[in-house]
Amino acid sequence: MELFVATFLKMFFIMTPFFVLSVFLTLTNEASTKEKKTLAIKVTIALVFLSLALLFFGRHLFAIFGITLDAFRIGAGALLFLSAVELIKGSKDGQKVDASNLHDLAVVPLAIPITIGPGAIGILLVMGAGFKNATENLIGIIALICAVVVIGFMLYFSHVIKKVIGKQGLLVVSKITGLFLAALSAQIMFTGIKNFLNI
């Protein structure tokens, strides 16, 4: 139980659920409730598969392709920066987000790198190497899935949260989220470059 609680809390907070929710609300501002729920389910499924794959095969995948965590930091930071620019600029044409666009958002950038960023990947790699037996592996898997499902529920009921925040509140959240996302992307890239150059 102690391992379950520790793993659950660690993964829940390292995935920054409230930040993910604000990005989700911003990106789906013009989407219908049904589209939001569909996207939330797709994001949750993507998170489960990605997190489990990284937990058990992350080190091997990175080694096969010759990718270091710092290289991932730089790439993920660049991708996050592009997302931040779009959030700050907003939609000029005011077009409604359609289902195909939402499908594109499910894996990138919502699942990775916004929810599963370099920090979460690092934790998953360390956790995967730290499990000593099959029992710990099973407990770790269940705790990880539970953390992802809780985040999924938050996204699934985001339309309720949107009603509480209001349209003007969402607009403010959108701009603030974009600024924080830009700062976060810069920090991720700087960390990757710093470690790569051994500064």
**pLDDT tens, the chain, 199 aa long:** 888 998 898 888 888 887 888 889 888 888 888 989 999 999 999 999 999 999 888 778 778 888 887 887 888 788 778 877 877 776 534 444 455 566 778 888 889 888 998 778 878 887 887 788 889 889 999 999 999 999 999 999 998 988 887 767 767 777 787 788 788 888 888 988 998 888 7
Distances (CA, A) of 129 to 1, 68, 123, 136: 20, 16, 10, 11
pTM above 0.85, yes or no: no
H or E element: which one contains 75? helix 69-89
Alpha carbon distance 76, 166 (integer Å): 31
Alpha carbon distance 179, 88 (integer Å): 7
How long a stretch of residues is the chain? 199
Please give the DSSP secondary-structure letter assigned to residue 101.
H
Alpha carbon distance 134, 136 (integer Å): 6
Q: What angle do CA 165, 166, 169 make, to 5 degrees?
A: 70
Please give the DSSP secondary-structure letter assigned to residue 102.
H
Burial call 57-89: b when 16+ CB within 10 Å, e when fewer: ebbeebeeeeeebbebbbbbbebbbebbeebee
Residue 55 contacts residue 140 (beta carbons within 8 Å): yes
